[in-house]
A and B are shown apart, each in its own frame.
Chain A
Amino acid sequence: MRLRLILFCLLGAFTLPLAAQDRLPPAPYAYQLLNDPAKEARAKALMEELRCLVCQGQSIADSDAPLAGDMRHEVRSKIAAGESPDAIKAWLVARYGNWVSYDPPFDGATALLWLGPLLFLAVGGWLAFGRFRRGASDGDDIA
């Protein structure tokens, strides 16, 4: 019984992961930096702002997923070819929507996010103002 359990565990240890991935090496610029440090810095800044499509909580700079590697290759190749980071971002947003960016623009979907703090501040100010005024008129609140 115990032997069987041990054998079973050993078998488990040697199986291949079920989620298949390709067997190709990473694209050239997936892990290789650009020679020009200024260009690499621009590519790096953009890659940190782009969201990985497969592992959705990570930027493509952080992810080891093959598709993220291919996206880094895409970004670095385009930067090396002289494209601006803004143009590359626009190119990707045209394909994947604002979802692909960690810095989405101000629009209907993000308005509450940007204006929320101001809204809360206004409500808080209004409440506090009401409180102070009542305090002043009643007088007896303050010892």
Chain B
Amino acid sequence: MKNRWVLFVPLAVMGLLFGAFIYRLTTPAETLIQSQWIDKPMPLFDLPPATAGVEGLKSSQLADGKPRLVNVFASWCIPCRAEAPQLEALKAAGVPIDGIAIRDRPDDVAMFLNEYGNPFDRIGSDMQSSVQIALGSSGVPETFLIDGKGIIREQIQGVILADQVPEIVTKIEAMK
């Protein structure tokens, strides 16, 4: 009986399979769905103001030669509160920021701005997430880097952390 080692092949295959299972159980797959709508023009939209005293947001306003951030947020989104200081820091560094409020009510947006500050030049109200879907965005907060021609250059998913701020400032500067 030659090739006795062949008998161990099934055991080895099972070992590999279980190894794969254990690997995936301990390091779950990445569940962030990245937008594929990158290096493409901003979808066409015209959003009304999200609350009294702010300007609404039109896609045509995003192609005025000035690179900027478009922050997708909501007053009901708890991580967005944690992001507020970083947006303030970006604004202080001279980065223009526009906002899109998702499924939000004017009173709630006003309360949010009152409590966590208003770094936004304009805030459009996206009541049915239609602009969010057109952007390929799957949650809040998300931030899009837009160049002066209104082309989306990058998507940042989740809260912008303090140590990401200088990098974002540099990227926006580089687009000028």
Whether A22 lies near B74 (C-beta < 8 A) is yes
Taking the closest CB of chain A, its distance from the CB of B163, in whole angstroms, is 26
B: number of interface residues (CB 8 Å): 26
Selected contact of A95 from candidates B37, B108, B128, CB within 8 Å: B37
User: Which chain A residues border B105 with CB–CB below 8 Å?
Assistant: 23-24
B 79-111 binary contact with A (CB < 8 Å = 1; else 0):
000000000000000000000001111001000
Whether A20 lies near B139 (C-beta < 8 A) is no
In angstroms, Cα B130 to Cα A100, docked, is 16
Q: Which of the segments B19-27, B28-36, B52-60 contacts the partner chain?
A: B28-36
Taking the closest CB of chain B, its distance from the CB of A49, in whole angstroms, is 16
| Number of residue pairs spanning A and B whose beta carbons lie under 8 angstroms apart | 67
In angstroms, Cα B128 to Cα A73, docked, is 8
In angstroms, Cα B152 to Cα A95, docked, is 12
Whether A54 lies near B139 (C-beta < 8 A) is yes
User: Which chain B residues border A53 with CB–CB below 8 Å?
Assistant: 33, 138-139
Selected contact of A20 from candidates B77, B127, B135, B138, CB within 8 Å: B77
Say yes or no for A106: interface residue by CB 8 A criterion.
no
- Give the residues from 44 to 81 in chain B that come closer than 8 angstroms, CB to CB, to chain A: 74, 76-78
In angstroms, Cα B102 to Cα A120, docked, is 48
Supplied contacts A18-B78, A53-B139, 20 more A-B pairs, CB within 8 Å: A20-B78, A22-B76, A22-B103, A23-B76, A24-B103, A24-B104, A27-B128, A54-B139, A67-B132, A67-B138, A70-B132, A71-B133, A73-B128, A73-B130, A92-B133, A95-B35, A95-B133, A95-B136, A96-B36, A100-B33
